Amino acid sequence: MTQSPPDALRTLLSRGKLVTMPCCFDALSARLIEQEGFPLTFMSGFAASASRIGAPDAGLMSYGEVVEQARNICDAITIPVIGDGDTGYGNAMNVRRTVEGFARAGCAAVMIEDQLAPKRCGHTKGKEVVGRDEAFDRIRAAVDARGEGTDILILARTDARHEHGLGEAIARAAKFRELGADILFVEAPKSVEEMRTICSELPGWQMANIVEGGETPDLPAAELQDIGYVIAAYPLSLMSAAMQAMVDMLAALRDGDGDARRKALLGFAELRRRVGFDTYYEQSARYRSSARD
């Protein structure tokens, strides 16, 4: 019997081995992640905002837009997806609706954070966090939604390190765990020592967020596992690589450099395969009218 997405994620994390998690931004990037054998992905809010509305991750996407993006991603793949629920889009009752919506979309887990709305990318300036009581109410509401028939894991994130220091961030994360969060995420530690402190002082599953050029050290997977992390998220690696490839292609087209353009392309047959044409043709062969397409 096939496991549900939340159960598949629980099984994966229970193995105790670090999971390298490339983050997606749409259904195609998610499909490529699965095709390359990764067992888990995360819908990056930064990347999804950039790809869907062409705008920065600054609280501009609505709840409905984010859930629709998550649903499209979940529909395209079979591996578990963690959705970015931001601040929950309002008060504690909005958080409950957010958790329920991500579960209906097919997500295995949803991330809820303690930033002040409108939120910011964790490695950019201008972010602030709400007070402890509001932060705890958000996670309490998320856990309540899960406990009342919504099968989804809760990934609780704190950005308190930026304004209030590591001690406050750890204290908040510890309370999140006490309230029932499944996975903890202390955003933007600034050194290996801080990363070790987080994993040694907090119980349960910990997630590291590796932004190339960001504030957190970009460590090898073996070292991240040794520190104690169970997930290593790479939120911008695919989007950054894709954007660089597109900029290079546009330059080749602008300059009339046919050799550079052709060398940069994925073969047409491989492109069709990865998008799903081969599977489509195999399935449509069962139906005479579709086989003529």
CA dihedral defined by 259, 267, 238, 256, rounded to 10 degrees? 20
- What is the pLDDT confidence band of residue 78, given thresholds at 50, 70 and 90? very high
Q: How far apart are CA 172 and CA 185, in angstroms?
A: 10
Identity of the residue numbered 65 = E
- What is the pLDDT confidence band of residue 246, given thresholds at 50, 70 and 90? very high
pLDDT value at 291 more than 70: no
Query: Which residues belong to CATH 3.20.20.60 in the chain?
Result: 5-236
Q: Which tens digits make up the pLDDT trace of 248-261?
A: 999 999 999 999 99
Give the helix ranges, DSSP H, for the chain.
Answer: 5-14, 27-35, 45-53, 63-76, 92-105, 132-147, 160-164, 166-179, 192-201, 221-227, 237-255, 258-264, 268-275, 277-284, 288-291
Q: How many CB atoms lie within 10 A of CB 7?
A: 14
CATH T-level fold of 5-236: TIM Barrel (3.20.20)
pLDDT value at 1 more than 90: no
Q: Which tens digits make up the pLDDT trace of 214-241?
A: 999 999 999 999 999 999 999 999 999 9
First to last CA, the chain: 35
